[in-house]
């Protein structure tokens, strides 16, 4: 029997060509349907959550994935909470303003040691208190000296008045309470009996540790020329 070499050769080449074509087609499909791991990680990073994390913990979002609006909203909420101070009631509004008196430089209540100083108490509309002591252009805050009155940073305590309008109470941030008897809306007198009362346990503890305490019942006068709104 004669073997047709040319026929076998063409048939073999044809089959081999089909096999190569099939393999190429499969490789092309794989490249189109399956993305490299690096590309997946890059895309998942753009979305803010890794694919693996999204599958295992769908409710947990990293901080970096939070929107700027969310972060800004939280900061605004904190700012609104901190600045949302209660306005003093109507019956206390007559006492809003600046009060002052002259005090002795005793090295305790007034941190100066010679002469006189001016004690200033400013009752603000939001219930805070600006308190300072001045002597010869120097300003004392928390018994520490500041260079000039122009660069002062006031500390803020709180004040309130009873509905009977007989007493103003200044609550200092350290916990001490200072009481002022109301003569009228323009005159406040320190009530030493209540300031040193045995009931004022925090006051007594602070004074025992050297906290500045008044030795005289000073009378503060309202500065009627001072406009709190300016």
DSSP letters of 52-83? HHHHH-TT---GGGS-HHHHHHHHHHHHHHHH
Please count the CA atoms within 13 angstroms of the CA of 102 that sit on its side-chain side.
Answer: 3
Q: Are 125 and 228 in contact (CB under 8 A)?
A: yes
Alpha-carbon distance of 222 to 146, in angstroms, equals: 24
Query: 177 phi and psi, to 5 degrees?
Result: -120, 130
pLDDT at 195: 98
Q: What's the CATH fold of domain 90-222?
A: Lipocalin (2.40.128)
pLDDT at 137: 61
Q: Are 74 and 199 in contact (CB under 8 A)?
A: no
Q: Are 156 and 170 in contact (CB under 8 A)?
A: no
Alpha-carbon distance of 140 to 149, in angstroms, equals: 9
Please count the CA atoms within 13 angstroms of the CA of 223 that sit on its side-chain side.
Answer: 15
The residue ranges of every structural domain in the chain are 10-47, 90-222
Residue among 153, 110, 156 at smallest CA distance from 135: 110
Alpha-carbon distance of 202 to 169, in angstroms, equals: 15
E-strand stretches of the chain:
97-104, 116-123, 128-135, 138-141, 144-146, 156-161, 167-171, 177-184, 187-190, 219-222
Alpha-carbon distance of 96 to 181, in angstroms, equals: 15
Residue with tokens 């540790």: 209
Q: What is the pLDDT along the chain (230 residues), one digit of tens a residue?
A: 444 544 444 455 445 454 555 545 445 444 544 445 455 444 444 443 332 333 333 333 333 333 332 333 333 333 333 444 568 999 999 999 999 999 999 888 988 888 999 999 999 999 999 988 898 766 665 554 444 444 444 566 999 999 999 999 999 999 999 999 999 999 999 999 999 999 999 999 999 999 999 999 999 999 999 887 66
Q: Are 196 and 190 in contact (CB under 8 A)?
A: no
pTM of the model: 0.59
């Amino acid at each position: 029997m004669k073997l047709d070499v040319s026929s076998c050769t063409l048939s073999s080449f044809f089959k081999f060509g089909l096999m190569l074509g099939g393999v190429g087609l499969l490789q092309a499909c794989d490249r189109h349907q399956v993305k490299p791991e690096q590309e997946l990680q890059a895309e998942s990073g753009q979305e803010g959550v890794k694919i693996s994390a999204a599958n295992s913990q769908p409710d947990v979002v990293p901080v970096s994935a939070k929107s700027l609006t969310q972060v800004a909203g939280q900061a605004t909420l904190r700012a609104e909470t901190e600045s949302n101070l209660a306005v003093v009631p109507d019956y206390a509004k007559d006492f809003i303003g600046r009060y002052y008196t002259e005090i002795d430089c005793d090295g305790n209540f007034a941190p100066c040691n010679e002469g006189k100083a001016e004690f200033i108490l400013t009752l603000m509309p939001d219930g805070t208190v600006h308190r300072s002591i001045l002597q010869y252009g120097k300003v004392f805050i928390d018994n520490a000296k500041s260079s000039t009155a122009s660069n002062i940073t006031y500390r803020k305590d709180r004040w309130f008045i009873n509905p009977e309008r007989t007493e103003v109470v200044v609550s200092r941030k350290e916990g001490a309470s200072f009481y002022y008897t109301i003569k009228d809306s323009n005159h406040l007198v320190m009530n030493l009996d209540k300031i040193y009362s045995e009931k004022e346990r925090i006051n007594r503890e602070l004074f025992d540790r050297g906290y500045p305490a008044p030795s005289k019942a000073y009378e503060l006068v309202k500065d009627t020329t001072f406009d709190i709104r300016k």
